[in-house]
Amino acid sequence: MKNYAPPISKNWKGRTSEDQQYIHEKIECVNLFSNPKKILSKGFGIIGYACDEGVKRNKGRVGAIHGPDRIKQTLGPMPNPLANSTSLYDFGNISCLDNNLEITQENLATSIAKILHDNCFPIGIGGGHDIAYGHYNGIKKHLGNNKSIGIINFDAHFDLRSDENRPNSGTPFYQIAKDCLAENLPFNYLCLGIREDANPKILFETAKEFNVDFIYNNDFNLQNIEAINNILDSFINKVDAIYVTIDLDGFSSAYAPGVSAASPMGFAPDIVLISLHKIIASKKLISLDLAEFNPKYDRDNQTAKLASSLIHFVLRKHKHLNINI
């Protein structure tokens, strides 16, 4: 796999201790495809998606290609929340060569399937939101067609644009929906934080066509938590496994300025953390990724720290690692 780059240990730095008090001391850098050691224990596997070709095709601000390494560098100094028996791996990055987004997504799918096969919970770090098409297909490769997959997307955008003129960062869920239709499989997709000022009318029509569940950004807040919980419960109960994808441009730019499509009108971290906690408590969460982090436009590492804190929250709360579904 020529666009696979093994992990770089120098991305992981921070304070030192004698008992792995920090993530950079806990993490193990392992070549996913020629690892000299066998993955023996359940754990978390971080895989970078160093690609912003989809953002470029979608006329967004390029720079997300540098997101994975910056997030790793920000995550490393944070406290280690994991038990000694739970492993944490950096499996390197999948990069986009020769502007070939499609091959990059295929190789990501292969990587995600292998991480799951190796008994690890994948954490993808983008890169554009086109990460979602590769990530979903990797889960599908692992589970097969006998298990239903529910996608929960924290995002301002549906990302249901047609891929007629080539896939991009705005097309992944349209592509998944088409694949499901072709294979007579259910398309279970819930969007949390949809903004009316960020989606043209045709995307709402496409969402209706594919029976997409969604919550408007104006309703995605703590004041509406009971209704949000009811929607989450209904969605979680109808699927076997859940894949969560977090588009960082769904957050208000007050929290996430370093993204491909920033806006002050996004949601806040508190409602995302509460929703994530509920999803994790269902014991159906099988995989997660974060997308659209663009270090070029970040301020004081603010967005990198937000992304790292979201990953840290999942590491801290996801005790069951229920990945052999």
DSSP 16-56: --SS--BHHHH-EE--TTT-SS---S-EEEEEEEE--HHHH
Please indicate if the annotation marks 159 as binding a ligand: yes
Please indicate if the annotation marks 129 as binding a ligand: yes
Contact indicator for 321, 241 with CB cutoff of 8 Å: no
What amino acid occupies position 78? M
Please indicate if the annotation marks 247 as binding a ligand: yes
6 token code pair: 């093994």
Distance of CA 211 to the CA centre of its chain: 22
Please indicate if the annotation marks 98 as binding a ligand: no
Give dist(CA 192, CA 242) in Å, integer.
14
92 closest CA partner among 42, 132, 50, 39: 50
Contact indicator for 278, 244 with CB cutoff of 8 Å: no
Binding positions for Mn(2+): 129, 155, 157, 159, 247, 249
Binding positions: 129, 155, 157, 159, 247, 249
